[in-house]
Amino acid sequence: MTANTDVGVAARGLGVNSATRRGASSSQAAVEPLEGAISESCSWLLERQHADGHWVGELEGDTILESEYVLLLAYLGRLDDPLCLKLCRYIRKQVNDEGGWSIYPGGPTDLSASVKAYLAMKLVGYSTDDSIMRRARALILDAGGAQACNSFTRFYLALLGLIGYDECPSVPPELVLLPHWLGFSLAAMSSWTRTILVPLTIISSFRPVRPMAAGIDELFRDDLPRHPSRRTKSPFSWTNAFLALDRVLKWADRTLPRFVRRPGVRAAHRWMLDHFENSDGLGAIFPPMIYSVVALRTLGYAADSAEVVWALRQLDDLLIEEEQTARIQPCVSPVWDTAIATIALADAGLPDYHPALLRSARWLLSKEIRTRGDWAARRRKVEPSGWSFEFLNEHYPDFDDTAMVLLALRKSMLAETPEFRAAAARALNWLLAMQNRDGGWAAFDVDIDNQVLTKVPFADHNAILDPSCPDITARALEAMGTFGYAASHPAALRALDYLWATQEPEGCWYGRWGVNYIYGTWQVLLGLRAIGHDMNDPRAARAADWLESVQQACGGWGESCASYDDPSLKGIGAPTASQTAWAVLGLIAAGRSNGEAALRGAAYLIETRDSNGVWNEDTFTGTGFPRVFYLKYHLYRVYFPLMALARFRAAGGRLRVAAPGPLACRIPALPRPFDI
């Protein structure tokens, strides 16, 4: 097939026949939609850059966030705050077709989310005879009743006097006293678990209660145990051992004098205050921020104390309040959004000295973390570096953001400065030092993979560990390759061994931090390409084959969060802009930019833009905790498709650019500055 024929096929697929009828050549007709999509997406992003250089899009979770905030305000005696009603109006709008609440759009009803939503609405005054309340109650009872909720829901019920603390797992403050090298210590758990558990140890020890006039007895089933047993049939199991320890700890709470537990409580208190420093709230994420407020009040801090006011302000900063409703973000993502937007704009053609790229690069460079965080417990001699996800979270730089920021900074003229070179050297050394023993990279720490800990009673949030995952491992490889590390480097060889060992039989990879196998496969292909791995390797070819095999008839790709529960749903779901972009990027990395699948994917992206020239996306394609908590990054729908189309163009995909398009007009040539 000749180039002209290729362009003609592309033009027909992109719906540009009207341009051809107006007298434009087939080549010009093919240029216009691709260049127009790139140009309009660039303009959209540039208009939304903040003056200091950063981007940040809304980060959306499920209604557990709004419900828990209402429950916190109830505990604080603030149910008359108009915010409670606004939050509950938003909760009501999110009810699913079954009559309950899901943890992602289109997902099944989630019991714990539904119990908390029902309770929040009842507390602000919604009648149990309300139609939504009636349907939700029936669903909850059918699912096993409120007694089947997870551990963290139980703590909220206990705080409000709806169940006793004996029905919650014990979280002993002595955890904070255990040495870091012990396999059951706080340091052996994931960073987010640490930040949640430390304030919970204080709550578990003091057992604070603010009884509510309105109960939820109607959500408990009389024909089932009030506290279902988790015991295994085998008498000798870690689950049963931890349950026995839980009974001992509850006995200690009832029997031992308070001073015996005082050292643990004091250590937890100090740990929490220390981790308030240089952070937008404890852990800079919603769950520990909520618990820290309760813990402070439990410890006797006054409502108007500097510490409580500060902790509540961090939560308020996550609120998005509108006239009738309010919703809350689980955290904010400025570093992540800024890095990816920078990469996408540079890929699209902005020169490295463009003011937008210089502003974003300076902002990112200013966010390098130069203090020791929790990670230093296992890597004491490593010089601090790295980037976090949020504006300020110095205790928890993460490997994913660090790699992405390095990739972004490389795109700007600041890459030529001594300041950047020094930061890049520190960050790469830090990143290499954080490689796990299995050759992979996790998110925040090294070798947090003791599977025994998944059996503790409070581990039912499915995230007590932080093990290696293919997507972050591959992103670390991408950063390494971008800075000149080859596939023969010892760290790369170990990472490759990990990736080959975790490749699925179909050829794809699991995605820990994005949904799901499309995300993991895309990123691995990029990592392999960056370090110079042979993309004709049958294992890499199988990955690209898999991406092509799950492309949908419309030309797009989509995958539901349900694939975490049922792996047979790999690559299956409603098509989305972000997942289509990931697949196209993966195929380009695999050397298939001229293939029919990449062409159809690019065509899908161009055809599905909205009136603003960008994309809409209702589906959640981000992952917090698989099977427990998912996310919608509101900028994913723009910067990833822009990146895919820009790289498709640069790779000489079959939608070839025959002449300068609108982008050249929208981004004027700039003089190269002498002083940057």
Question: Could you give the CA distance from residue 219 to residue 143 in angstroms, rounded to a whole number?
Answer: 10
Question: Could you give the CA distance from residue 535 to residue 525 in angstroms, rounded to a whole number?
Answer: 8
- Specify which residues 630 forms β-bridges with: 623
| Runs of H (alpha helix) within 48-180 | 64-75, 82-93, 111-123, 131-142, 151-159
CA 667 to centroid of chain Cα atoms: 32
Question: Could you give the CA distance from residue 489 to residue 496 in angstroms, rounded to a whole number?
Answer: 10
Question: Could you give the CA distance from residue 545 to residue 311 in angstroms, rounded to a whole number?
Answer: 50
CA 28 to centroid of chain Cα atoms: 40
Question: Could you give the CA distance from residue 50 to residue 65 in angstroms, rounded to a whole number?
Answer: 27
Count Cβ atoms below 10 Å from residue 419 Cβ, excluding itself.
11
Looking up tokens 């952070």 gives 279
* Separation in Å, CA 603 to CA 39, 468, 650, 654: 16, 35, 16, 11
Query: Closest Cα to residue 103, out of 116, 89, 121?
Result: 116
Are 375 and 385 in contact, with CB atoms under 8 Å apart? no
CA 332 to centroid of chain Cα atoms: 10
Are 594 and 489 in contact, with CB atoms under 8 Å apart? no
Report residue 585: phi and psi, to 5°. Answer: -60, -40
Query: Closest Cα to residue 515, out of 617, 388, 445?
Result: 617
Long-range contacts of 165-170 (CB under 8 A, 24+ apart): 165/204, 165/207, 165/253, 166/227, 166/250, 167/226, 167/227, 168/204, 169/246, 169/456, 169/457, 169/458, 170/204, 170/246, 170/249, 170/250, 170/253, 170/457
Which residues are CB-neighbours of 469 under 8 A, at least 6 positions away?
440, 441, 442, 443, 510, 511, 512, 513, 520
SS3 content of the chain, % helix, strand, coil (to 5): 55, 5, 40
Report residue 68: phi and psi, to 5°. Answer: -65, -30
Element (H, E) at 518: helix 517-530
Q: Which of 253, 400, 445, 471 is catalytic?
A: 400
Maximal C-alpha separation, the chain? 90
Query: Closest Cα to residue 232, out of 221, 242, 218?
Result: 242
SS3 state of residue 115: helix
* Separation in Å, CA 253 to CA 170, 206, 259, 613, 659: 9, 9, 11, 61, 76
Instruction: Write the burial class of residue 454 (CB in 10 Å: 0-12 exposed, 13-18 middle, 19+ buried).
Output: middle
**Known catalytic residue: 374?**
no
Count Cβ atoms below 10 Å from residue 324 Cβ, excluding itself.
10
Task: Give me 407's structure tokens.
Answer: 């990739």
- Specify which residues 319 forms β-bridges with: 328
Task: Give me 334's structure tokens.
Answer: 């400025």
Catalytic residues: 400
